[in-house]
């Protein structure tokens, strides 16, 4: 039986008039792949609180404004060396920022604010691509 873990993250964007959709999305370089700011939900925390805390810890960004009721969940399995099989559920929220500076945590080796199409090409995993597509569709539908 797989051990259960919960994480939460943020699909963060900012306005950029030079971008095709007038917005760019933040991706973090984890060294082996690019993804969104995210991390474990701590005891006593709700998912949104965890997502915003992780965003701050991993990027230094403090001005994130949650956008609407966007919520996208993914579930995947992975094998941990000492813990065995893990079933991970990650809940993503959508937020905007005006920040252009990122102060990376020790967990990351780089970052980029990218237009939708470039960000979609940069993320590797299908569930990360689906998350970005859902966020982009939400923003388009809401005319944000």
Question: Which superfamily is assigned to 3-141 in CATH?
Answer: Nucleoside Triphosphate Pyrophosphohydrolase (3.90.79.10)
Buried b (16+ CB within 10 A) or exposed e, 22-51: ebbbbbbeeeeebbbbbbebeeeeebbebb
Q: Are strands 84-96 and 65-66 parallel, antiparallel or unpaired?
A: antiparallel
Token pair belonging to 86: 């893990």
In this model, does residue 58 exceed pLDDT 90?
yes
Q: What is the pLDDT of residue 4?
A: 92
* pLDDT tens per residue across span 31-46: 999 999 999 999 999 9
Annotated domain spans of the chain: 3-141
- Name the pTM for this structure: 0.94
Can you tell me the distance from the alpha carbon of 30 to that of 58, in angstroms, rounded to the nearest whole number? 11
Instruction: Name the average pLDDT for the chain.
Output: 95
Q: What is the pLDDT of residue 121?
A: 98
Distance, first Cα to last Cα, the chain: 43
The alpha carbon of 25 is separated from its chain's Cα centroid by a whole number of angstroms, namely 9
* pLDDT tens per residue across span 99-143: 999 999 989 999 999 999 999 999 999 999 999 999 999 999 998
């Amino acid at each position: 039986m797989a051990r259960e873990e919960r994480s939460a993250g943020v699909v963060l964007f900012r306005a950029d008039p030079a971008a095709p959709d007038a917005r760019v999305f933040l991706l973090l370089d984890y060294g082996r792949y690019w993804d969104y700011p995210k991390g474990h939900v701590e005891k006593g925390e709700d998912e949104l609180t965890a997502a915003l805390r992780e965003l701050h810890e991993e990027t230094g960004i403090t001005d994130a404004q949650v956008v609407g009721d966007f919520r996208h969940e993914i579930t995947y399995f992975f094998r941990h060396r000492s813990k065995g099989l893990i079933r991970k559920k990650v809940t993503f929220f959508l937020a905007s920022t005006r920040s252009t500076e990122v102060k990376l945590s020790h967990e990351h080796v780089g970052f980029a604010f990218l237009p939708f199409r470039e960000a979609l090409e940069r993320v590797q995993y299908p569930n990360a691509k689906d998350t970005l597509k859902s966020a982009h569709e939400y923003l388009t539908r809401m005319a944000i």
